[in-house]
Amino acid sequence: MKIAVAGLGTVGAGTVKLLRQNADLLAQRCGRRLELMAVSARDRARDRGVDLKDLSWYDDPVRMVAEADADVVVELIGGSDGVAKTLIEAAFARGRHVVTANKALLAVHGTALARAAEAAGVALAFEAAVAGGIPIIKALREGLAGNRVNRVYGILNGTSNYILTNMRESGREFAEVLAEAQERGYAEADSDLDVDGIDAAHKLAILTSVAFGCEVMFDDVYVEGIRHVSPLDIEYAEELGYRIKLLGSTRLTEHGVEQRVHPCMVSLEAPIAHVEGVLNAVAAAGDFAGDTFYEGRGAGAGPTASAVVADLVDIARGRQIRTFAVPATELKKIPAAPMERHWGAYYIRLMVVDRPGVIADVAATLRDDQISMASMLQRGRAPNEDEAVSVVLVTHECEEAAMMHALAGIKRLDTVLEPPRMIRIEPL
């Protein structure tokens, strides 16, 4: 089977290395050899740590698709539009299978691309687009094929997980830990997609479609990043028996599909609370299989290349799985559940004036929105009256709309000196 690779960054070079290094093993497992024949990248002079001399080189990846006699095109360029989308569409037009790691492209155009692949009679495979070396797409699409999946959640971004882990272990602020992560190469120079939750939202939208057989609905994902999480919140979470994680969560509710990416407090008894550093983890619940849990490296040359080649092996074996588990023409339109209808418990941290009656005013505001407190923490007293002290409240479950209204009311109190900090508590 002849393969052309577009994009020779970290993942592209890793894919070339894997195909070369494990060529005999792959041939044995596929029943035929996987032959890398052409590559495309911008800089020919760059040392990528792999030998490319015997391969056809194209500066233009779209021209490579047109001219190279490849059975499969591997797209590792990235980006939700532009050349990546153009070359995939060109591959379909020529009857060529496509393997991609491009989560942004699939999140934005996944439904249309799946229909185009199906119309052309070719595969669109993307195991590498979500959670790197964790075979979560195969798990949902094949391993749990006999189940109605009702919920999927997980740590979908290793950079954010590394930052939160380091903040907890060192007690340092977000900005300081982010800068160090960038210096060490654990975070990109432009890390907004990671720390603001967009990368995780791309992946969650894909998981939603595979899990529920619906159209990809990236625009309906509620997204909130980790910039506002402080060491104080992390310390209070531990004291309360929780750990803060940036989670992506999708589930079917009576109001539609709820897709959320935001920091969560998860119980220290939950397995996902102990997934640390750059690791990813995904959990899925099926009606017959019950709860399943997958953990591993979500990025990097080796894990992501492993996922790319797993898709190539499927195609070489003649296994062509539906892109999102069901025929693309049958992907359902499911309404998005409004975030305002989310139901759950909340952690609230306030900086208030340390004087009698303050907590009574806060409790009255919560009461007016039918929200009850489960517990409260206050460490010591301020040295002088009218100085600030931190107070943490944990609420019983309530509707998100009521919580947002109550927080707005608390913010208006003269005795509350900073905007309230709120983190949702996730029952797992």
| Segment 341-398, tens digit of pLDDT | 999 999 999 999 988 899 999 999 999 999 999 999 987 666 666 678 899 999 999 9
One domain for residues 58 and 201:
no
Which of residues 50 and 94 earns the better pLDDT score? 94
Q: What is the pLDDT of residues 163-178, one digit of tens each?
A: 999 999 999 999 999 9
pLDDT digits 0-9 by tens, 106-151: 999 999 999 999 999 999 999 999 999 999 999 999 999 999 999 9
In the block, residue with structure tokens 């591993």: 296
Express as a percent the part of the chain with pLDDT over 70: 98
Average pLDDT over every residue of 147-156: 97
Q: Are residues 144 and 292 in the same domain?
A: yes
What pLDDT sits at residue 163? 97
Residue 424 contacts by C-beta under 8 Å, 6 or more apart in sequence? 262, 263, 264, 265, 342, 344, 345, 346, 347
Q: Are residues 173 and 107 in the same domain?
A: no
Determine the Cα–Cα distance for residues 116 and 93; give it in Å rounded to an integer: 9
Q: Please give the Cα distance from 309 to 127 (Å, whole number).
A: 9
Residue with tokens 């023409």: 329
| Catalytic site residue from 2, 17, 103, 203 | 203
Question: Is 57 within the bounds of a domain?
Answer: yes
In this prediction, residue 388 carries a pLDDT of 83
* 39-48 contacts at long range (C-beta below 8 A, 24 or more positions apart): 39/4, 39/5, 39/6, 39/8, 39/12, 39/64, 40/4, 40/5, 40/6, 40/7, 40/8, 40/64, 41/6, 41/7, 41/8, 41/9, 41/12, 46/8, 48/8, 48/12, 48/13, 48/16
Q: Count Cβ atoms below 10 Å from residue 104 Cβ, excluding itself.
A: 21
Mean pLDDT of all residues in 253-268: 97
Which of the pair, 74 or 320, is modelled with greater confidence? 74
Structural domain includes residue 281 = yes
Give 80's pLDDT tier (boundaries 50, 70, 90): very high
What's the whole-number average pLDDT of the chain?
95
- The answer to whether residues 163 and 76 belong to one domain is no
What pLDDT shows up at residue 382?
Answer: 61
What is the C-alpha to C-alpha distance for residues 392 and 390, in angstroms, rounded to an integer? 7
Residues 151 and 288 in one domain: yes
143 shares a domain with 266: yes
pLDDT digits (tens, 9 = 90+) for 272-310: 999 999 999 999 999 999 999 999 998 889 999 999 999
Q: Residue 72: its pLDDT value, please?
A: 98
**Domain interval for residue 91:** 2-129
Q: In this predicted model, what pLDDT tens digit does every residue of 175-227 receive, in sequence order?
A: 999 999 899 887 888 899 999 999 999 999 999 999 999 999 999 999 999 99
Tell me if 257 is assigned to some domain. yes
The mean pLDDT value for 394-408 works out to 98
| Predicted confidence band of residue 405 (pLDDT cuts 50, 70, 90) | very high
Give the CATH number for residue 195.
3.30.360.10
Tokens read off for 185: 């190469």
Both 144 and 125 in one domain: the answer is no
| Distance, CA of 186 to CA of 267 (rounded, Å) | 26
Answer with the one of 108, 129, 150 that is the final residue of a domain: 129
pLDDT at 186: 79
**Pair 45, 152 in one domain:** no
Q: What pLDDT was estimated at residue 365?
A: 97
Q: Tell me what pLDDT residue 47 has.
A: 85
Question: Residues 65, 102: one domain?
Answer: yes
Quote the CA–CA distance of 409 and 326 in Å, as a whole number: 47
C-beta of residue 294 within 8 angstroms of C-beta of residue 136: yes
The CATH number that applies at residue 362 is 3.30.70.260
For residue 49, pLDDT beyond 90 = no
% of the chain exceeding 90 in pLDDT: 89
Say if residue 321's pLDDT is above 90.
Answer: no
Q: Is 17 designated active site? A: no
Q: What domain count does the chain have?
A: 3
159 and 69 share a domain? no
* Coil, helix or strand at residue 359: helix
Query: How large is the average pLDDT for residues 145-166?
Result: 97
